Amino acid sequence: MGVSIFIQQVLNGLTLGAVYTLIALAFSLVMGILGILNLAISEIFMIGAFIGFSLIMSGVPVWLALPGAMAVAAVISMVIARIGYEPLRNASHITPMLSTLGFSMILQNFATNTWGSDPMQLTLEGWLDTRFHFGLVSLSVVQIVVFAVTLGLCVLTALLIQRTDIGRGLRAVAENRDVSRILGVRPRRMILVAFALSGLLAGAAGVLVGLHYSVITPYIGVDIGLKAIAVMIVGGATNIWGALLAGPIIGILEVLTVAYGGAAMRDFIVYGMMIAILLVRPQGLLGGSSKTSGGRV
């Protein structure tokens, strides 16, 4: 039984890690390209969860609710980029960070007034409510959806960043604004694209969280957002695959700490790991040096 419990815990960790991965990616798209910490991402994630929830509850099928919520999240993110980030582009990196904090307050207050502070619950029906049992280990359809969507979005994001003009434009702006301009890239547009992508991912994470945990409040963004920052750092703030690796690592680490070490130590270990990575390998697990990695965002 010990083994199956262990496997179950690893599955639990992977699910949590998938969510971390998406939010960490959302953070790193903005961080890697613009060098700012967009603290509103936590709340965009939360809004995404509520939009997805509301859509599903009003009978919209999941495959439609997901892109719907992602789109709303992307629009919010773009508004933040235009109002809260762009005018402050030349200020020190703290000022835009605090302006995104202002947007967090607005979004959180908006959610409280729109959906209430009490937990909102979703009851899944039909195929979404199915579980598969393998001995003592069980896996739900929603968990599989979470894995699939996360992996799919990571691959899509990676393809977009690596293989398309938009992606190359983003990376060019990230590396050298002036050079990108003489190649015809419009930095303002790329900033908007980066924020939009980041919003899409955070929104998707929100919907998945809503689906899987089926309980949300306007305050779910705060803690998970901080953890996602840790995941971003551990994986390497400028590397997509870093988040894909670090998300599950932190997720599993957390879950195993809870399972075998006592829940109390959990945050201590996660943030301790983040600090250790920062000190030993500031570029993150997969960051590589600035020249060796072609996979930079």
C-beta of 64 vs 159, nearer to other proteins: 159
User: What is the distance between the alpha carbons of residues 264 and 86, in angstroms, rounded to a whole number?
Assistant: 41
C-beta of 64 vs 184, nearer to other proteins: 184
DSSP state of 239: B
Q: Note whether 297 and 240 are within 8 A (CB).
A: yes
C-beta of 64 vs 149, nearer to other proteins: 149
C-beta of 64 vs 206, nearer to other proteins: 206
CA separation (Å) from 234 to 18, 36, 278? 15, 17, 8
Tell the smallest beta-carbon distance from residue 224 to other proteins (Å): 6
C-beta of 37 vs 201, nearer to other proteins: 37
C-beta of 82 vs 148, nearer to other proteins: 82
Angle at 241 between CA 263 and CA 46, to 5 degrees: 55
- The H or E element spanning position 127 is none
Tell the smallest beta-carbon distance from residue 147 to other proteins (Å): 14
C-beta of 199 vs 239, nearer to other proteins: 239
Total residues found in the chain within this entry: 297
Tell the smallest beta-carbon distance from residue 203 to other proteins (Å): 16
Tell the smallest beta-carbon distance from residue 60 to other proteins (Å): 20
Torsion sign, CA atoms 53, 58, 62, 68 = negative
Torsion of CA 272, 284, 206, 199, to 10 degrees: 140
In Å, the largest CA–CA distance within the chain is: 63
Tell the smallest beta-carbon distance from residue 190 to other proteins (Å): 11
Q: Note whether 4 and 136 are within 8 A (CB).
A: yes
Structure-block tokens of residue 217: 């409040």
Tell the smallest beta-carbon distance from residue 154 to other proteins (Å): 20
**Angle subtended by helix axes 220-235 and 41-57, to nearest 10:** 120
Tell the smallest beta-carbon distance from residue 196 to other proteins (Å): 19
Residue partners of 156: CB distance under 8 A and separation at least 6:
none
